[in-house]
Structure 1
């Protein structure tokens, strides 16, 4: 059988490896937004499909028998396209999604529905911001001139950016001692992130907790209703049962 994995995440790479070992033809699709992505085993395609119609046609032309959406929790467009395309093509869809983060009683979390709301919360929480929401959507923070930002992303961000900022290019997984040192060195007093979930980037939350810093967290956008699992092994079994 041929399976399409909409990937770019560690979970997607794990699933591709498990299916490849069991003789399944896997095609992993990456959005192409990162310059040097970590590649999964098996066939890889990079770039979009041309919306719902393009993805529907591609699924049919390539004889795909199942689709696993293992994209980032904030990849709204491809998630919606995958749902509608698999419905149109009559192909089963599974969502492989890591659980979101959960606060402890010692955390000082402030939830926001989007980056704009996150930016609006900042002036009342701190003046030196560790911004780890990725390189897209940074325009939401561009007008906060009194605040200073340490912006971390994988690839260089585009304009506009906050007037007072420093950019650090890095890729997870991150270690607790490194996150703690980074925040201390730059006198960070508030952290901004998206609820990406998973262990690869969770150390910043632990460091913020230890340092007593407030954290602004952007909630995950809603996804179309589909069967879902958080476990790559369970996703592999689901594929083999289609």
Structure 2
């Protein structure tokens, strides 16, 4: 507030307030000079840091709730392959084409899950496969076809063993079986032999002793009558 000074007759100075309605500056305004003569600094503006922190915190809370909800949802059960009738397929092949089938004996927990007729290398044949319970990595298969000639037999065998390489031979039930093993992971082992005019490959993702047991169990299948194929 600016005060007006008046000098009295006694030499003293007295002050009086300005009349009502006159402006009373309370301090330097924006852009005016400070007492030192320098311009006043402008007021600082908020950059909204608090709002960003609140947004990020809200998103984290929402994500936590979503993950908790998903963890409580029931997961669908694994789809299990149905069991197939191996004997019915062998019966159909034998009765309809006359192709002899050597039937293996495969005990639980192995379960037959695939069976079909084949035509690898132009040779009519038969496939049967087994899996073991909940272990999806365990597999056992039997492939067979009637022997034809040296070239055809070699082509058929190559189609069965794929990239497997011959690692030797093994005597099983008095018969010599050639052993093949793949170089991948997991290792696939195959046993191959000509069983009385029928080319047979017993292979799978399991231990060699299990394959040898299946190979030793092969017996000619006796037809019980015509039946529909199972695949």
TM-score range, shorter chain: under 0.3
Question: Higher relative CO (CA 8 A, sep ≥ 6), structure 1 or 2?
Answer: 1
Task: Indicate the structure with greater helix content.
Answer: 1
TM-score by length of 1: 0.21
Going by fraction, where is strand more abundant, 1 or 2? 2
Larger Rg: 2
